[in-house]
């Protein structure tokens, strides 16, 4: 009996092994207690930033005046970070963590999550992920007449369980054939510089194949070659799935001068246009350095400690704050 109890305790502490049953649990995000609203800051008019304190930002169009359309209407160039998308990383296929733990399984075969130990003590892992449209400001109706807010509500947009490229790195080459150019020591070593840049501010857009301290952004699949904790792995998969959405033209660019008059096609994701906030299982609402949102690629060692626990705390949900520049007409 004592031996069985020790075995069960070890399983609970080490996580759920491959092939074991995984329960589906979750929580719909509470907009009052789970979301760090200061992540929307700073607000900018042209290149002038208003408020925000320690909140980080990327460059904005320098001219405060703008115009759009064939019959130009003079307007103000506004910038802010809009909570607009959401990604959940799950162990059980078709488990909708963000919907309170609904098991949506329609009976289709899908790869289960797994963690494989390798000689030397390292391990790799695999997870499924879901991409949501979550324009929080729209469905809360906090601001009803501001033209720069996307009015799309809440919707499940993508399930990796029905995507054959998500659990097959060779098939994923269809979407990211350029990965063969970066499978070399020089390209991999460059990601160390991207990690340093993301930890101090934002990652480098020119190092588009890197996910900062999380490793390589390619391939666009759910297998992570080096598992170093659930939070870090979930952050990497969140970045990969967002990049995949851009490559499939399901996510567009909304920032910079090109975004003043509306979204534009951006097949290679600009990782500096996103900040993330963990909202499940433990919302990351505590501020580190005056902020609780993290740019893509920032090390999870600064904020991820204590955000994972066995069984019910091994699935993760991230709210994405997307950089938005907009021309607000008079």
At 322 the pLDDT is 98
Highest mean pLDDT of the ranges 9-18, 45-54, 257-266: 257-266
Highest mean pLDDT of the ranges 111-120, 166-175, 316-325: 316-325
- Mean pLDDT along residues 8-31: 61
> How does the average pLDDT of the chain come out, rounded?
89
Residue 203 has pLDDT above 70, yes or no: yes
> How far is 136 from 319, CA to CA, in rounded Å?
10
Q: Give 80's strand partners.
A: 324
- Is pLDDT larger for residue 201 or for residue 73? 201
At 121 the pLDDT is 59
> How far is 228 from 64, CA to CA, in rounded Å?
44
pLDDT-above-70 percentage for the chain: 91
At 4 the pLDDT is 38
Residue 170 has pLDDT above 50, yes or no: yes
Does the CA dihedral 197-198-204-208 come out positive or negative? positive
At 330 the pLDDT is 58
**49 Cβ neighbours under 8 A, 6+ residues apart:** 42, 43, 57, 60
Which pLDDT band holds residue 16 (cuts at 50, 70, 90)?
very low
Domain spans, the chain: 22-329
- Is pLDDT larger for residue 286 or for residue 183? 286
Which parts of 248-296 fold into alpha helices (H)? none
- Mean pLDDT along residues 2-15: 36
Residue-wise pLDDT for 206-250, tens only, equals: 999 999 999 999 999 999 988 989 999 999 999 999 999 999 999
Point out the least confidently predicted range of 35-49, 143-157, 233-247: 143-157
CA distances from 89 to 94, 236, 250, 324 (A): 11, 10, 18, 25
> How far is 93 from 106, CA to CA, in rounded Å?
10
At 7 the pLDDT is 34
Which pLDDT band holds residue 72 (cuts at 50, 70, 90)?
confident
Which parts of 141-184 fold into alpha helices (H)? 169-172
With 0-12 / 13-18 / 19 or more C-beta atoms within 10 angstroms meaning exposed / middle / buried, residue 321 is buried
- Mean pLDDT along residues 146-167: 92
Q: What is the 3-state secondary structure (H, E, C) of 175-235?
A: CCHHHHHCCCHHHHHHHHHHHHHHHHCCCCCCCCCECHHHCECCCCCCEECCCCCHHHHHH
Point out the least confidently predicted range of 12-16, 110-114, 257-261, 308-312: 12-16
> How far is 291 from 37, CA to CA, in rounded Å?
10
> How far is 49 from 61, CA to CA, in rounded Å?
11
Length of the chain: 330
The b-or-e profile of 287-310 (16+ CB within 10 A means b, else e) is: eeeebbbbbbbbbbeebbeebbee
Residue pair 297/239 in contact by the 8 Å Cβ criterion:
yes
Using alpha carbons, select from 153, 326, 171 the residue that is nearest to residue 256: 326
Residue 6 has pLDDT above 80, yes or no: no
Preceding peptide of 130 cis, ω within 30° = no
Residue 19 has pLDDT above 60, yes or no: no
- Mean pLDDT along residues 292-308: 93
Residue pair 78/326 in contact by the 8 Å Cβ criterion:
yes
**Strand order, beta sheet including 223-224:** 114-117, 123-126, 223-224
HSE (CB half, 13 Å, CA atoms) of 158? 25
Residue pair 46/61 in contact by the 8 Å Cβ criterion:
yes
Residue-wise pLDDT for 266-280, tens only, equals: 999 999 999 999 999
Highest mean pLDDT of the ranges 83-92, 181-190, 284-293: 83-92
Helix and strand element counts for the chain (H, E): 5, 14
At 13 the pLDDT is 35
């Amino acid at each position: 009996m004592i031996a069985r109890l020790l075995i069960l305790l070890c399983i609970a502490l080490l996580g759920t092994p491959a092939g074991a049953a995984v329960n589906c649990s979750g929580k719909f995000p509470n907009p009052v207690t789970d979301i760090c609203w200061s992540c929307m800051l700073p607000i900018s008019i042209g290149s002038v930033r208003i408020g925000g304190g320690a909140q980080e930002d990327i460059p904005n169009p320098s001219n405060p005046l703008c115009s759009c359309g064939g019959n130009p209407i003079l307007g103000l160039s506004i910038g802010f970070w809009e909570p607009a998308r959401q990604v959940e990383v799950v162990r059980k296929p078709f488990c909708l963590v963000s919907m309170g733990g609904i098991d949506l399984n329609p009976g289709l075969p899908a790869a289960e999550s797994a963690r494989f130990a390798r000689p030397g003590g390292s391990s790799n892992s695999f997870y499924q992920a879901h991409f949501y449209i979550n324009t929080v400001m729209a469905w809360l109706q906090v601001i009803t007449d501001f033209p720069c807010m996307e009015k799309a509500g809440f919707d499940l947009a993508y399930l990796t369980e029905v995507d054959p490229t998500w659990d097959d790195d060779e098939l994923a080459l269809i979407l990211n054939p350029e990965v063969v150019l970066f499978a070399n020591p020089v390209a991999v070593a460059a990601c160390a510089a991207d990690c340093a840049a993301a930890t101090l501010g934002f990652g480098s857009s020119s190092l588009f194949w890197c996910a900062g301290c999380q490793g390589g952004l390619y391939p666009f699949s759910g297998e992570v070659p080096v598992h170093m904790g659930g939070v870090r792995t979930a952050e990497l998969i969140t970045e990969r799935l967002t990049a995949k959405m851009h490559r499939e033209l399901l996510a567009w660019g909304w920032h910079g001068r090109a975004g003043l008059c509306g979204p534009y096609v951006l097949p290679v994701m600009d990782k500096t246009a996103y900040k993330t906030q963990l909202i499940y299982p433990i919302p990351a609402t505590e501020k580190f350095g005056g902020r609780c949102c993290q740019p893509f690629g920032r090390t999870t060692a600064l904020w991820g400690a204590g955000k994972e626990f066995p069984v019910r705390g091994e699935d993760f949900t991230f709210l994405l704050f997307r950089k938005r520049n907009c021309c607000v007409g008079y």
